Amino acid sequence: MGSHEEFRRRPSQDGSALPVMAALQGRSRAAGRAGNPATCRARSRDQEWAVLRGEATPPGPGAPGVGQRPGPGTRRALRRRPAGRPRGACSSQRPLRVPGRAGEGAHPPPAPGAVLRYLRPSPAVQSRGSRSHRSRGLALLRHARSLPPAPAARGFALSAGSRCPAMPSNKSVSDAPIVQFTNCRILRDHQLQREDLWVREGKILNPEKLFFDEKGSADVQLDCKDSIIAPGFIDVQINGGFGVDFSLATDDFKSGIDLVSQKILSHGVTSFCPTLVTSPPSVYHQVLPQISVRNGGAHGAGILGAHLEGPFISKEKKGAHPEHCLRTFEAGAFQDLLATYGSLDCVQIVTLAPEMRRSSEVIRELTKRGICVSLGHSVANLSQAEEAVQHGATFITHLFNAMLPFHHRDPGIVGLLTSDKIPAGRRVFYGMISDGIHTNPAALRIAHRAHPKGLVLVTDAIAGMGLAPGRHTLGQQVVEIDGLNTYIAGTKTLSGSVATMDTCVRHFQEATGCSVETALEAASLHPAQLLGIEHKKGTLHYDSDADFLMLNDSLYVQATYIAGEEVWRQDVSGM
């Protein structure tokens, strides 16, 4: 086969027209040498747009060159639009055919990627209004998103009334398939937007760059049937579930954490922080080495790192934590912490009581290592809580639970929600167990209205989540499940929850009357911001991880995707 240049100059075997792009490109260059190059390129683009709109046909062997200045009659022909056809339509009143099966003496189809070339204006055209041209191109592409793939090159014909076929993919950037999710409402920039979602290699694609820079298009289109597409949920406090307790050192701990990570996919959780409650040092030394940060996939939700809730907490507000395992900071405060945990390699969050002596030193050291410090199980007053935030603390563990109740003269840790002593540029986040048990709906509304951008929904789920009522464990303690209530056996002390994340989202939306967008972001965007990973998780911005959910209008999860791959879908029976 000859070179590309020879192919462009060679006429077809039956003497019919050159291929469309060869004619448009070759003649444009030949004529460009006789006149101003910029002017010729602009006029060439104008005719290309006319051909795309069906207002002109590609030039035959005897037609004037595209880059030449057409005469008055030719200009009138190019501008003429057949009656009865709306401006900008993609169909042609005259069939466009190729030699062979489509009929003798017809024009061949555009070369692969040719239609997209029409949609990208030349520099000369851009200088006098590229935005309008680009908007028109995007409109055409959106119009074509639901059309079938382009037919084979031989025998291709666009007859009267036909519509633009899907554009061929350009694999010069990546050979990975491009998936286009259509007929959906995407949660982006705090709003549900009627747009398509484009995914390649586990990332969210910018369609404008794909169309105009890569000249690519979708390999696969999926109809979402008007579903909501939202970022995957992130649970930063989950103690276990489905019979698995993260605070128990067992020989099959890894299989247990794998089970939970797989099961929570059906509840929309795509990333989580396995949480250990107050335990003896031996448990931390055995369990933490078995927790490793990993990406999610068909095997289950991704692991972001461990959340260590205790043992450096207050005896007065220990909640369901065993008192004999509680510890304080001694002379070498941070070294005490290291000795207790054994390692901080996989640790993402540490909950401690800020009123404890030497806690400021520990907070500073943890923050330097990129570990989030949370305030909880505490009797701290507001001043102590503010000091902890000034040293680097950014989170409150399950607000209202296991802390001093709000008081008008000293609101305690709760006062951080409206404190005016938070360092500039810093945001304090707070966890809420929105299960209808741990927090009264009125208290949930108060917190949300006081500081809506800091609210992070957590489950605080225990091993009994997903199981029938009965006796289960929470670390060193035995707990009893009675309906949605979980108590330390023989007491009325609440000990975690059995609520799933999607249940918490729905209850939060119903209790507060907030928007759907707000409820979804409290379980996705806000926890990602807390952990400083919002550039890749918790959003559907371009280049972020393609971890997302399909939900119906009642916020029930229909399907879960991680890295653009479906990892769970509700079956037909609704189970």
Q: Catalytic: which of 46, 460, 545, 547?
A: 460
Which residue in the block uniquely carries the two structure tokens 């806000």?
526
Give me the long-range contacts of 247-253 (CB less than 8 A, separation at least 24): 247/276, 247/277, 247/279, 247/283, 247/287, 247/474, 247/475, 247/476, 248/283, 248/473, 248/475, 249/282, 249/283, 249/286, 249/287, 253/287, 253/290
Q: Which two tokens stand for residue 217?
A: 């298009």
Catalytic-residue membership of 460: yes
Beta strand 548-551 with 306-309 is: unpaired
Q: Which residues contact 526 (CB under 8 A, 6 or more apart)?
A: 429, 453, 454, 455, 456, 457, 538
Which residue in the block uniquely carries the two structure tokens 């007065």?
316
CB-based contact 268:519 (threshold 8 Å): no
Q: Which two tokens stand for residue 254?
A: 């890894």
Q: Which residues contact 381 (CB under 8 A, 6 or more apart)?
A: 355, 404, 410, 412
What is the CA 379 to chain-centroid distance, rounded?
38
- Give 420's strand partners: none
Cα separation, 197 vs 93, in Å, equals 33
Cα separation, 271 vs 473, in Å, equals 24
Nearest CA among 482, 470, 459 for reference residue 233: 459
Q: Give me the active site residues, please.
A: 460
